[in-house]
Amino acid sequence: MDRKNIVIVGGGLAGQMAAVRAAEQHFHVDLVSLVPIKRSHSVCAQGGINAAVNTKGEGDSPWEHFDDTIYGGDFLANQTPVKRMCESAPGIIYLFDRMGVPFNRTAEGLLDFRRFGGTKHHRTAYAGATTGQQLLYALDEQVRRYEVAGQITKHEGWEFLSVVRDGGGACRGVVAANHVDGAIRAFRAGAVILATGGPGLIFGRSTNSVINTGAAAAAVYLQGGVYANGEFIQVHPTAIPGEDKLRLMSESARGEGGRVWVPRDGKPWYFLEEMYPAYGNLVPRDIATRAIFEVCVNQGLGVDGKNQVYLDLTHIPADELEVKLGGILEIYRKFTGEDPARVPMKVFPAVHYSMGGLWVDFDQMTSIPGLFAAGECEYQYHGGNRLGANSLLSCIHGGQVAARAAMDHVDGVPAAPGPDPYDAEVRRQEAVFEEIRSMDGDENPYRLHRELGEVMTDNVTVVRHNDRLDETLERIAEFKERWRHIGPPDRDGTLNQSLYFTRQLHHMLELAHVIALGARLRDESRGAHYKPAFPSRDDDRFLKTTLATHTPDGPRIDYEDVDIQYLPPRPRVYDVYRKEDRP
Amino acid sequence: MSDTVRLRIRRQDGPEARARWESFALRRKPHMNVISCLQAIQADPVDADGRATTPVVWDCNCLEEVCGACTMVINGRARQACTALVDELGASITLEPLGKFPVVRDLVVDRQVMFENLKRIKGWIPIDGTYDLGPGPRLPERERQFAYSLSRCMTCGCCMEACPQVNPRTNFIGPATLAQAVYFNASPTGRMTASERLEAVMGDGGITECGNAQNCVKACPKEVPLTTAIAGLNRATTWHYVKNWLTR
């Protein structure tokens, strides 16, 4: 059984897509998820999903999509997998259309597409402004169908702890813990797919869900998996600040005509339109975020003297807004009490997405044989900056590729060499929890997490300085030491959340180290990584993927060349539209 | 407004344990919601009398009311904790777990029954496979909008909590599941297997358990047109019954 069995960790879009793909090819899937899979973080994706189907007569094509994606990512992404993703995109949209996703329609009843950042084409299919939720629900329904058929077994409320490696180093399954009763057990498999999402919680408050700690990817990194491009963290330009989280206001608000401005000399200053006439409010996120920082932080022009700008939809008819953006208008109304159809929204940038993640090859396999990764937890599709509406696409495409590769791997995998590795790994993880339970210092894990988030947000986001990154690395070392002096506020009992959080915090600190060190060593500016002391992109030194490998002394950083076989790197500018530069 | 937020929280160590009440007093900050109150308790777990306690256990994930996880009873009403803004909740805030589901611990309940109910109604579009078979069926935008209004259901359980017919004496599958049957039957592809879903909701615990109290539609945070959907389903099942009888 376990040779025809695939374990998938994570029930968001990537994990569910992979699960359905494997199930329909008559594999059995154990789907391990922290939360009921229908509540995975993919539900938060709002604006849409990209596919170049050229229904508006604009000359769009998968090649244009590929070019925009590579250019938007400042040439850091390997081009072969990105090209494949863009070519697969139209088929993916049609698949989800067939699954019943209520995508918005044109007058003819065809799929409608809207504009998004970093492109001049209407390329984004959408279901109101809750596209991620709708795509996830469609897959959740298919997973349920295969669950009834006995092809998929869900294990919800289980936390991934580690992979199980055989005597030859190959991945043979995972060890996970049940949140409710604390049971720790192994799940055997011929191949494992990790689809565990991003690490936004390392920055304290972000647009991410509370489960997005990156702890699963960090666990694999600690077991020898290579982590790539960790320093590339996307800060989304438009979110509503909150005590508990920073809530995203989708880029689709600008795709539908929303304008960003601040008052200057008593008049609205549409600074993005002025600075970037070719793309205006639809510049990529790194560009818009830096412009908002410049206007608020450096020029002191933020609305009401605070770090915030207006995102204005009031010139768009209210009924049109409701059909196309209803989901985000509802969020804004419920959390601020104001109606964006009548008054401009007040927004500010927030940590949103990690372009970096576990290193994978073009078939989604990590540096550990038999362990695959898909979705935000891997690094492969977005280079130095992700374009809006490409994340849902990369999740689904990556999940499909990973499923195919994992099935091929299982078919060819020999019997495990050496002794049965499962019991030893289970005992190792039980010992970790025993150790955490026995810690009795006076640090509170939640307070320590807040401190980490503040330090990371202040120093490792929009603008990066080497002296402050050095200080950050010192602070991370201090936090790691203080972690050992935590006294878990709840030691026993059912559903002991603080015990699990303490363990996740340990892993967040390890990934924070990878992120900060990668940023410290990359002396250039590229995509979301910006250092005023090194304001230009330096292709000679840094047209390279950052590779972090765990050692007892912290991450070791190496570099690897980027696949640029289709598009030679060219300067990245958004104030003019330079089609003539394109090959 | 007082600069202290007072909370009374119904706590329970496990499914079999006895429930107890604990009170907390927190410093008021701007834009607090129930989530940020519970987070403040995690960071400093002491009760209103300064006695050390454990952090309150609750379910949450997205914190923007699209995942459905953080549903609980807040001042007597089932709703999401993320959109429950402290400044709108009055002088004191009472938190309890949903009452229609088994308690796991504190404010966490087991809502698995709702996902099981979706299996019963065959809640999926029976596609041939996930390979590329070209575009799906065309759909008028107006029909799409109705489908979308049903598809926003996040299986949170507010409608179950509000419905008097969801109780230990019935095994009513509840408003959300019935509305999902309507959703799948409205799809051009789902319609091809509509009779299977109609049969499912005509069975034990199905639509005949609905007492038309209409609490569900008022309780739904996503404004899913539950009563409209159930009324339509009523007509469809009646017609299906008659058709079955005629073609016997």
Phi then psi dihedrals of residue B193, to 5 deg: -120, 25
Residue A353's pLDDT is 98
What CATH number is attached to the domain comprising B148? Answer: 1.10.1060.10
Q: What CA–CA distance (Å, rounded) separates A278 from A574? A: 6
Question: Nearest-CA neighbor of B113 among B76, B71, B157, B81?
Answer: B157
Q: What CA–CA distance (Å, rounded) separates B223 from B145? A: 13
Q: What is the pTM of this model?
A: 0.98
Tokens of A115: 């504009």
Residues B31 and B142 in one domain: no
Residue recorded with tokens 């990764």? A373
Residues B234 and B156 in one domain: yes
Q: How many other CB atoms are there within 10 angstroms of residue A494's CB atom?
A: 19
Instruction: Please list every residue in chain A whose beta carbon sits closer than 8 Å to the beta carbon of residue B140.
Output: 105, 109
Q: A121 and A78 in contact (C-beta within 8 Å)? A: no
Q: A80 and A173 in contact (C-beta within 8 Å)? A: no
Q: What CA–CA distance (Å, rounded) separates A301 from A267? A: 12
Strands A28-33 and A5-9: parallel
Q: Is the pLDDT of residue B89 over 60?
A: yes
Question: Nearest-CA neighbor of B157 among B216, B201, B212?
Answer: B216
Mean pLDDT over the full length of chain B:
96
Please check whether residue A498 touches B, CB under 8 A.
yes
The answer to whether B55 contacts A335, with C-beta atoms less than 8 Å apart, is no
Regions of chain A short of the pLDDT cut 50: 1-2
The answer to whether A109 contacts B141, with C-beta atoms less than 8 Å apart, is yes
| Region for residue A493 given its phi and psi (left: phi exceeds 0; alpha: psi -120 to 50; beta: otherwise) | left
Handedness of CA B94, A448, A12, A183 (dihedral sign): negative
- List, in sequence order, every residue forming a beta bridge with A180; answer none if it has no partner: none
Tokens of B185: 């039957």
**How far is the alpha carbon of B246 from chain A, nearest alpha carbon, in Å?**
32
Q: A188 and A2 in contact (C-beta within 8 Å)? A: yes
Domain end marker among B109, B138, B163: B109
Residues B57 and B152 in one domain: no
Residue A583's pLDDT is 59
Residue recorded with tokens 């009795």? A440
Number of domains in chain B: 2
Residue A582's pLDDT is 64
Q: Is the pLDDT of residue B141 over 70?
A: yes
Residues B84 and B136 in one domain: no
Strands A357-358 and B108-109: unpaired
Residue A1's pLDDT is 45
Residue A124's pLDDT is 98
Residues B53 and B175 in one domain: no
The answer to whether A21 contacts B130, with C-beta atoms less than 8 Å apart, is yes
What CATH number is attached to the domain comprising B77? Answer: 3.10.20.30
Instruction: Please list every residue in chain B whose beta carbon sits closer than 8 Å to the beta carbon of residue A447.
Output: 43-44
Catalogue the active-site residues of A: 285
Residues B24 and B104 in one domain: yes
Residue A418's pLDDT is 76
Residue recorded with tokens 């987070």? B39
Inter-chain CB pairs, A–B, below 8 Å:
197
Q: How far apart are the first and last CA of chain A?
A: 51
Residues B133 and B183 in one domain: yes
Residues B104 and B116 in one domain: no
Write out pLDDT tens, residues B145-202: 999 999 999 999 999 999 999 999 999 999 999 999 999 999 999 999 999 999 999 9
Q: What CA–CA distance (Å, rounded) separates A543 from A546? A: 10
Write out pLDDT tens, residues B39-63: 999 999 999 999 999 999 999 999 9
In residues, how long is chain B?
Answer: 248
Hey, of A244, A323, A332, which one would you mutate to test binding to chain B, going by the most B CBs within 10 A of its CB?
A244
Residue B142's pLDDT is 97
Which residues constitute the domain of residue B72?
4-109
- List, in sequence order, every residue forming a beta bridge with B96; answer none if it has no partner: B73
Q: What CA–CA distance (Å, rounded) separates A165 from A168? A: 8
Give the 3-state secondary structure of residue A215. Answer: helix
The answer to whether B104 contacts A494, with C-beta atoms less than 8 Å apart, is yes
Measured between CB atoms, which of B13, B148, B152 is closest to A493?
Answer: B13
3-state secondary structure B151-207: HCCCCCCHHHHHCCCCCCCCCCCCHHHHHHHHHHHHCCCHHHHHHHHHHHHHCCCCH
Order of strands across the sheet that contains A345-354: A247-248, A233-240, A345-354, A309-312, A259-264, A267-269
Instruction: Please list every residue in chain B whose beta carbon sits closer than 8 Å to the beta carbon of residue A142.
Output: 124, 127, 130
Instruction: Please list every residue in chain A whose beta carbon sits closer than 8 Å to the beta carbon of residue B97.
Output: none
Q: How many helices (H) and strands (E) does chain A have?
A: 15, 21
Q: How far apart are the first and last CA of chain B?
A: 69
Q: What CA–CA distance (Å, rounded) separates A342 from A362? A: 48
Residue recorded with tokens 């639509």? B207
CB-side neighbour CA atoms (13 Å) of A227 = 39
Q: Is the pLDDT of residue B120 over 70?
A: yes
The residues, any chain, with a CB within 8 Å of residue B102's CB and separated by 6 or more, are B15, B109, B110
Residues B129 and B237 in one domain: yes
The answer to whether B154 contacts A24, with C-beta atoms less than 8 Å apart, is no
Domain end marker among B94, B109, B124: B109
Residues B134 and B176 in one domain: yes
The answer to whether B55 contacts A490, with C-beta atoms less than 8 Å apart, is yes
Q: What CA–CA distance (Å, rounded) separates A141 from A160? A: 23
Measured between CB atoms, which of A44, A105, A242 is closest to B141?
Answer: A105
Q: A172 and A164 in contact (C-beta within 8 Å)? A: yes
Domain end marker among B79, B109, B139: B109
Please check whether residue A95 touches B, CB under 8 A.
yes
Strands A544-551 and A554-561: antiparallel
Q: B99 and B71 in contact (C-beta within 8 Å)? A: no
Tokens of B81: 């904790």
The answer to whether B64 contacts A247, with C-beta atoms less than 8 Å apart, is yes
Residues B204 and B232 in one domain: yes
Residues B30 and B145 in one domain: no
Q: How many other CB atoms are there within 10 angstroms of residue B90's CB atom?
A: 10
